[in-house]
Amino acid sequence: MKEFGYSRATGVRDAVALLAHEPEARFLGGGTNLVDLMKAGVETPDLLVDVRGLPLGRIEVRADGALTIGATVTNSDLAAHPEVRRRFPALAEAVLAGASGQLRNVATVGGNLLQRTRCGYFTDTAFACNKREPGSGCPAITGEHHNHAILGASDHCVATNPSDMGVALAAFDAVVSYETVDGPGELPLTGFYPPVGDTPHVETALPAGALITAVTLPAAPVAERSRYRKVRERASYAFANGSIAAALHVEDGVVRDVRIAFGAVASRPWRAHTAERALTGGPATAQAFGAAADAELAAAAPLAHNGYKVPLVRNLVVSVLTELAEEASR
Protein backbone atom coordinates (compact mmCIF):
# COMPACT_ATOMS: atom_id res chain seq x y z
CA MET A 1 0.00 0.00 0.00
CA LYS A 2 1.21 3.50 -0.81
CA GLU A 3 2.19 5.59 2.20
CA PHE A 4 -0.35 8.23 3.17
CA GLY A 5 -0.91 10.93 5.77
CA TYR A 6 -3.71 10.96 8.32
CA SER A 7 -5.59 13.89 9.82
CA ARG A 8 -8.62 13.93 12.12
CA ALA A 9 -11.01 16.71 11.18
CA THR A 10 -12.16 18.93 14.05
CA GLY A 11 -15.13 20.42 12.20
CA VAL A 12 -16.92 20.38 8.86
CA ARG A 13 -15.20 23.54 7.65
CA ASP A 14 -11.86 22.14 8.77
CA ALA A 15 -12.49 18.93 6.84
CA VAL A 16 -13.30 20.62 3.53
CA ALA A 17 -10.38 23.02 3.96
CA LEU A 18 -8.00 20.08 4.34
CA LEU A 19 -9.19 18.58 1.06
CA ALA A 20 -8.93 21.95 -0.67
CA HIS A 21 -5.23 21.99 0.16
CA GLU A 22 -4.69 18.31 -0.69
CA PRO A 23 -6.48 17.44 -3.97
CA GLU A 24 -5.41 13.79 -3.64
CA ALA A 25 -6.90 13.45 -0.16
CA ARG A 26 -9.97 11.36 0.69
CA PHE A 27 -12.49 11.54 3.50
CA LEU A 28 -12.47 8.50 5.80
CA GLY A 29 -15.70 7.31 7.39
CA GLY A 30 -15.99 3.62 8.14
CA GLY A 31 -13.40 2.82 5.46
CA THR A 32 -15.14 -0.42 4.50
CA ASN A 33 -14.72 0.24 0.77
CA LEU A 34 -11.94 2.83 0.61
CA VAL A 35 -9.40 0.88 2.63
CA ASP A 36 -9.96 -2.27 0.56
CA LEU A 37 -9.35 -0.28 -2.62
CA MET A 38 -6.21 1.24 -1.12
CA LYS A 39 -4.89 -2.25 -0.38
CA ALA A 40 -5.55 -3.22 -4.01
CA GLY A 41 -3.80 -0.11 -5.35
CA VAL A 42 -6.99 1.23 -6.93
CA GLU A 43 -7.23 4.20 -4.55
CA THR A 44 -3.92 5.95 -3.78
CA PRO A 45 -4.68 9.00 -1.62
CA ASP A 46 -1.92 11.13 -0.20
CA LEU A 47 -3.98 11.95 2.86
CA LEU A 48 -6.95 10.48 4.73
CA VAL A 49 -9.16 12.99 6.54
CA ASP A 50 -11.05 11.19 9.30
CA VAL A 51 -14.59 12.62 9.61
CA ARG A 52 -16.03 10.10 12.06
CA GLY A 53 -15.74 12.55 14.95
CA LEU A 54 -17.79 15.28 13.27
CA PRO A 55 -21.27 16.10 14.65
CA LEU A 56 -23.02 14.37 11.75
CA GLY A 57 -24.22 11.24 13.52
CA ARG A 58 -27.87 12.05 14.28
CA ILE A 59 -31.23 11.17 12.73
CA GLU A 60 -33.83 13.90 13.16
CA VAL A 61 -37.52 14.29 12.29
CA ARG A 62 -38.08 17.82 10.97
CA ALA A 63 -41.15 19.96 11.55
CA ASP A 64 -42.35 19.30 7.98
CA GLY A 65 -42.20 15.54 8.57
CA ALA A 66 -38.98 15.00 6.64
CA LEU A 67 -36.28 12.74 8.04
CA THR A 68 -32.69 14.02 8.05
CA ILE A 69 -29.94 11.42 8.38
CA GLY A 70 -26.44 12.59 9.27
CA ALA A 71 -23.63 11.42 7.03
CA THR A 72 -21.73 9.59 9.78
CA VAL A 73 -24.74 7.63 11.03
CA THR A 74 -23.74 3.99 10.81
CA ASN A 75 -25.76 1.59 8.70
CA SER A 76 -26.67 -0.40 11.81
CA ASP A 77 -28.02 2.67 13.61
CA LEU A 78 -29.96 3.70 10.51
CA ALA A 79 -31.65 0.32 10.17
CA ALA A 80 -32.52 0.19 13.88
CA HIS A 81 -33.93 3.71 14.21
CA PRO A 82 -37.65 3.53 15.12
CA GLU A 83 -38.66 6.43 12.84
CA VAL A 84 -36.85 4.87 9.88
CA ARG A 85 -38.53 1.54 10.52
CA ARG A 86 -41.96 3.18 10.86
CA ARG A 87 -41.80 5.78 8.08
CA PHE A 88 -39.50 4.05 5.56
CA PRO A 89 -39.44 0.30 6.26
CA ALA A 90 -37.99 -0.42 2.82
CA LEU A 91 -34.93 1.65 3.76
CA ALA A 92 -34.37 -0.35 6.94
CA GLU A 93 -34.79 -3.59 4.99
CA ALA A 94 -32.36 -2.43 2.30
CA VAL A 95 -29.68 -1.58 4.83
CA LEU A 96 -30.07 -4.93 6.58
CA ALA A 97 -29.78 -6.69 3.21
CA GLY A 98 -26.38 -5.12 2.59
CA ALA A 99 -22.99 -6.28 3.86
CA SER A 100 -22.58 -8.12 7.17
CA GLY A 101 -23.44 -7.07 10.70
CA GLN A 102 -19.81 -6.24 11.44
CA LEU A 103 -19.53 -4.01 8.38
CA ARG A 104 -22.85 -2.28 9.06
CA ASN A 105 -21.58 -1.38 12.53
CA VAL A 106 -18.84 0.82 11.05
CA ALA A 107 -20.01 1.72 7.52
CA THR A 108 -21.55 5.19 7.26
CA VAL A 109 -24.43 6.63 5.26
CA GLY A 110 -22.19 9.09 3.41
CA GLY A 111 -19.66 6.39 2.63
CA ASN A 112 -22.36 4.06 1.36
CA LEU A 113 -23.38 6.61 -1.26
CA LEU A 114 -19.77 6.96 -2.36
CA GLN A 115 -18.85 3.28 -2.51
CA ARG A 116 -17.41 2.28 -5.84
CA THR A 117 -18.39 -0.55 -8.15
CA ARG A 118 -17.46 -4.13 -7.35
CA CYS A 119 -16.63 -4.93 -10.99
CA GLY A 120 -13.68 -7.35 -10.94
CA TYR A 121 -11.92 -5.51 -13.76
CA PHE A 122 -12.10 -2.25 -11.81
CA THR A 123 -10.72 -3.74 -8.60
CA ASP A 124 -7.86 -5.61 -10.33
CA THR A 125 -5.19 -3.22 -11.60
CA ALA A 126 -3.83 -5.91 -13.94
CA PHE A 127 -6.79 -5.16 -16.24
CA ALA A 128 -7.77 -2.10 -18.22
CA CYS A 129 -10.72 -0.10 -16.87
CA ASN A 130 -12.18 3.19 -18.02
CA LYS A 131 -13.13 4.03 -14.45
CA ARG A 132 -9.52 3.79 -13.30
CA GLU A 133 -7.83 4.94 -16.52
CA PRO A 134 -10.15 6.83 -18.88
CA GLY A 135 -9.71 5.62 -22.44
CA SER A 136 -8.15 2.28 -21.54
CA GLY A 137 -11.26 0.24 -22.37
CA CYS A 138 -13.94 -1.89 -20.70
CA PRO A 139 -13.01 -5.60 -20.82
CA ALA A 140 -16.24 -6.53 -19.03
CA ILE A 141 -18.23 -5.97 -22.23
CA THR A 142 -16.76 -9.07 -23.85
CA GLY A 143 -15.57 -10.73 -20.64
CA GLU A 144 -17.17 -11.61 -17.30
CA HIS A 145 -20.34 -9.55 -17.01
CA HIS A 146 -23.09 -11.82 -15.69
CA ASN A 147 -23.84 -9.32 -12.91
CA HIS A 148 -23.36 -6.12 -14.89
CA ALA A 149 -25.72 -3.42 -16.14
CA ILE A 150 -28.72 -3.86 -18.41
CA LEU A 151 -29.95 -0.25 -18.19
CA GLY A 152 -28.16 3.04 -18.81
CA ALA A 153 -24.79 1.50 -19.68
CA SER A 154 -22.53 2.57 -22.55
CA ASP A 155 -19.68 1.29 -24.70
CA HIS A 156 -17.35 2.75 -22.07
CA CYS A 157 -18.63 1.00 -18.95
CA VAL A 158 -21.18 -1.64 -17.96
CA ALA A 159 -20.52 -1.73 -14.21
CA THR A 160 -23.29 -1.48 -11.63
CA ASN A 161 -23.71 0.52 -8.45
CA PRO A 162 -23.53 -1.90 -5.50
CA SER A 163 -25.55 0.03 -2.91
CA ASP A 164 -28.71 -1.46 -1.41
CA MET A 165 -29.38 1.62 0.70
CA GLY A 166 -29.17 3.87 -2.35
CA VAL A 167 -32.00 2.00 -4.07
CA ALA A 168 -34.43 2.79 -1.26
CA LEU A 169 -33.22 6.38 -1.04
CA ALA A 170 -33.79 6.80 -4.78
CA ALA A 171 -37.35 5.47 -4.49
CA PHE A 172 -38.23 8.08 -1.88
CA ASP A 173 -36.72 11.21 -3.47
CA ALA A 174 -33.80 11.60 -1.08
CA VAL A 175 -31.75 14.80 -1.19
CA VAL A 176 -28.01 14.81 -0.43
CA SER A 177 -26.59 17.79 1.47
CA TYR A 178 -22.91 18.63 1.22
CA GLU A 179 -20.37 21.25 2.23
CA THR A 180 -17.52 22.77 0.21
CA VAL A 181 -15.09 25.61 0.83
CA ASP A 182 -17.59 27.81 -1.02
CA GLY A 183 -20.47 26.84 1.27
CA PRO A 184 -23.28 24.29 1.43
CA GLY A 185 -25.21 22.70 -1.42
CA GLU A 186 -27.78 20.02 -2.22
CA LEU A 187 -28.31 17.37 -4.87
CA PRO A 188 -31.35 15.15 -5.40
CA LEU A 189 -30.25 11.54 -5.33
CA THR A 190 -31.65 11.10 -8.84
CA GLY A 191 -29.05 13.64 -10.01
CA PHE A 192 -26.28 12.56 -7.63
CA TYR A 193 -25.00 9.87 -10.00
CA PRO A 194 -24.51 11.19 -13.57
CA PRO A 195 -25.20 8.98 -16.61
CA VAL A 196 -22.18 6.84 -17.40
CA GLY A 197 -21.84 8.06 -21.02
CA ASP A 198 -18.23 8.39 -22.10
CA THR A 199 -17.03 9.55 -18.64
CA PRO A 200 -17.49 6.54 -16.34
CA HIS A 201 -14.71 7.86 -14.11
CA VAL A 202 -17.01 10.74 -13.10
CA GLU A 203 -19.09 8.85 -10.55
CA THR A 204 -20.96 11.63 -8.73
CA ALA A 205 -22.07 15.19 -9.40
CA LEU A 206 -20.50 16.42 -6.16
CA PRO A 207 -18.19 19.41 -6.54
CA ALA A 208 -14.49 18.67 -6.02
CA GLY A 209 -13.62 18.35 -2.35
CA ALA A 210 -17.24 18.22 -1.19
CA LEU A 211 -18.11 16.50 2.08
CA ILE A 212 -21.53 14.84 2.35
CA THR A 213 -23.14 16.10 5.56
CA ALA A 214 -26.64 14.58 5.48
CA VAL A 215 -29.34 12.84 3.48
CA THR A 216 -32.93 14.06 3.78
CA LEU A 217 -36.04 12.04 2.99
CA PRO A 218 -39.11 14.21 2.37
CA ALA A 219 -42.28 13.20 4.16
CA ALA A 220 -43.90 10.42 2.12
CA PRO A 221 -46.96 8.69 3.59
CA VAL A 222 -46.82 6.09 0.81
CA ALA A 223 -43.45 4.92 2.13
CA GLU A 224 -45.02 3.59 5.31
CA ARG A 225 -46.18 0.59 3.25
CA SER A 226 -42.98 -0.25 1.43
CA ARG A 227 -40.65 -3.16 0.88
CA TYR A 228 -37.13 -3.96 -0.28
CA ARG A 229 -36.52 -7.29 -1.99
CA LYS A 230 -33.07 -8.49 -3.02
CA VAL A 231 -32.09 -11.48 -5.15
CA ARG A 232 -28.52 -12.71 -4.69
CA GLU A 233 -26.50 -15.82 -5.37
CA ARG A 234 -26.33 -16.83 -1.72
CA ALA A 235 -28.42 -15.91 1.30
CA SER A 236 -25.50 -14.49 3.29
CA TYR A 237 -23.36 -11.42 2.58
CA ALA A 238 -23.51 -10.94 -1.21
CA PHE A 239 -24.21 -8.20 -3.71
CA ALA A 240 -27.51 -8.19 -5.55
CA ASN A 241 -28.21 -9.73 -8.93
CA GLY A 242 -31.34 -7.60 -8.91
CA SER A 243 -33.33 -5.73 -6.29
CA ILE A 244 -36.34 -3.49 -5.87
CA ALA A 245 -37.49 -0.86 -3.41
CA ALA A 246 -41.22 -0.26 -3.80
CA ALA A 247 -44.10 1.50 -2.06
CA LEU A 248 -47.76 1.42 -3.02
CA HIS A 249 -50.91 3.28 -2.04
CA VAL A 250 -54.17 1.78 -3.32
CA GLU A 251 -57.72 3.07 -2.89
CA ASP A 252 -60.72 1.08 -4.16
CA GLY A 253 -58.44 -1.08 -6.28
CA VAL A 254 -56.80 1.93 -7.98
CA VAL A 255 -53.13 2.91 -7.65
CA ARG A 256 -53.01 6.42 -6.17
CA ASP A 257 -49.28 6.58 -5.48
CA VAL A 258 -46.39 4.25 -6.27
CA ARG A 259 -42.62 4.42 -5.91
CA ILE A 260 -40.24 1.97 -7.60
CA ALA A 261 -36.46 1.79 -7.84
CA PHE A 262 -34.21 -1.03 -9.04
CA GLY A 263 -30.76 -2.04 -7.88
CA ALA A 264 -27.92 -3.97 -9.56
CA VAL A 265 -29.12 -3.09 -13.06
CA ALA A 266 -27.29 0.19 -13.79
CA SER A 267 -24.38 2.40 -12.79
CA ARG A 268 -26.74 4.13 -10.35
CA PRO A 269 -29.88 3.21 -8.41
CA TRP A 270 -32.52 3.13 -11.15
CA ARG A 271 -35.71 5.05 -10.45
CA ALA A 272 -38.46 3.42 -12.51
CA HIS A 273 -40.34 6.55 -13.55
CA THR A 274 -41.84 4.93 -16.66
CA ALA A 275 -43.35 2.12 -14.59
CA GLU A 276 -44.65 4.56 -12.00
CA ARG A 277 -46.41 6.68 -14.64
CA ALA A 278 -47.92 3.58 -16.23
CA LEU A 279 -49.40 2.44 -12.92
CA THR A 280 -50.66 5.69 -11.40
CA GLY A 281 -54.43 5.95 -11.75
CA GLY A 282 -54.79 2.40 -13.04
CA PRO A 283 -55.79 -0.93 -11.53
CA ALA A 284 -53.67 -2.55 -8.85
CA THR A 285 -53.46 -5.94 -10.54
CA ALA A 286 -50.66 -8.35 -11.34
CA GLN A 287 -51.33 -7.83 -15.04
CA ALA A 288 -50.91 -4.05 -14.70
CA PHE A 289 -47.76 -4.50 -12.61
CA GLY A 290 -46.24 -6.75 -15.28
CA ALA A 291 -47.12 -4.34 -18.08
CA ALA A 292 -45.55 -1.46 -16.18
CA ALA A 293 -42.38 -3.48 -15.62
CA ASP A 294 -42.26 -4.32 -19.33
CA ALA A 295 -42.54 -0.62 -20.19
CA GLU A 296 -39.64 0.23 -17.88
CA LEU A 297 -37.48 -2.64 -19.10
CA ALA A 298 -38.11 -1.95 -22.79
CA ALA A 299 -34.91 0.13 -22.71
CA ALA A 300 -32.82 -2.76 -21.35
CA ALA A 301 -29.79 -3.73 -23.42
CA PRO A 302 -28.41 -6.90 -21.84
CA LEU A 303 -25.06 -8.34 -22.83
CA ALA A 304 -24.36 -11.96 -23.76
CA HIS A 305 -24.56 -13.34 -20.22
CA ASN A 306 -26.77 -11.04 -18.14
CA GLY A 307 -30.09 -11.16 -19.98
CA TYR A 308 -31.55 -13.14 -17.06
CA LYS A 309 -31.84 -9.83 -15.19
CA VAL A 310 -34.75 -8.68 -17.38
CA PRO A 311 -37.22 -11.40 -16.29
CA LEU A 312 -35.74 -11.37 -12.79
CA VAL A 313 -36.53 -7.68 -12.30
CA ARG A 314 -39.92 -8.05 -13.95
CA ASN A 315 -40.80 -10.83 -11.54
CA LEU A 316 -39.66 -8.71 -8.61
CA VAL A 317 -41.97 -5.89 -9.68
CA VAL A 318 -44.99 -8.16 -9.98
CA SER A 319 -44.27 -10.08 -6.79
CA VAL A 320 -43.55 -7.13 -4.50
CA LEU A 321 -46.33 -4.87 -5.79
CA THR A 322 -48.83 -7.72 -5.59
CA GLU A 323 -47.88 -8.32 -1.97
CA LEU A 324 -48.25 -4.63 -1.15
CA ALA A 325 -51.62 -4.46 -2.93
CA GLU A 326 -52.89 -7.48 -1.00
CA GLU A 327 -51.79 -5.92 2.27
CA ALA A 328 -53.65 -2.73 1.38
CA SER A 329 -56.88 -4.66 0.80
CA ARG A 330 -56.90 -6.33 4.21
Is 322 a residue whose pLDDT tops 90? yes
For the residues 6-30, what does the mean pLDDT come to? Answer: 95
Residue 265 and residue 245 in contact, taking contact as beta carbons nearer than 8 Å: no
- The per-residue pLDDT for 235 is 84
- Helix (H/G/I), strand (E/B), else coil: 33: coil
β pairing state of 254-263 and 240-251: antiparallel
Distances (CA, A) of 108 to 52, 75, 284: 9, 6, 37
pLDDT greater than 90 at residue 74: yes
291, β-bridge pairs: none
**126, 131, 136, 138: CA torsion to nearest 10:** 80
CB atoms within 10 A of CB 203: 20
| 256: pLDDT strictly greater than 90 | yes
Do residues 321 and 247 make contact, with C-beta atoms less than 8 angstroms apart?
no
Residue 224 near residue 248, CB atoms below 8 Å: no
Which whole number is the average pLDDT over 187-196? 96
Query: Mean pLDDT over residues 241-261, rounded?
Result: 98
* 242 vs 2, residue with greater confidence: 242
Chain length of the chain: 330
Q: Is 257 left (phi over 0), alpha (psi -120 to 50) or beta?
A: beta
Contact between 167 and 97 under an 8 Å Cβ cutoff? The reply is no
Burial letters 146-181, b for 16+ CB under 10 A, else e: ebbbbbbbbebbbbbbbbbbbbbbbbbbbbbbbbbe
| Tens digits of residue pLDDT in 25-56 | 999 999 999 999 999 999 999 999 999 999 99
DSSP readout, 201-226? T----PPTT-EEEEEEE---GGGGSE
Q: H or E segment at 26?
A: strand 25-28
For 66-87, what is the mean pLDDT?
A: 98
pLDDT tens-digit readout, 207-239: 999 999 999 999 999 999 999 999 999 988 899
Whole-number pLDDT of residue 330: 79
- The span from the CA of 10 to the CA of 25, in Å, is 16
Euclidean distance between CA atoms 259 and 273, whole angstroms: 8
Q: Reply yes or no on whether the pLDDT at 252 is more than 90.
A: yes
Q: What is the pTM of this model?
A: 0.97
Average pLDDT, the chain: 97
| Consecutive H or E run containing 48 | strand 47-50
pLDDT in tens, 110-168: 999 999 999 999 999 999 999 999 999 999 999 999 999 999 999 999 999 999 999 99
pLDDT at 23: 84
C-alpha span between 252 and 288 (Å, rounded):
15
**Residue 4 pLDDT level (bands cut at 50, 70, 90):** very high
pLDDT on residue 236: 80
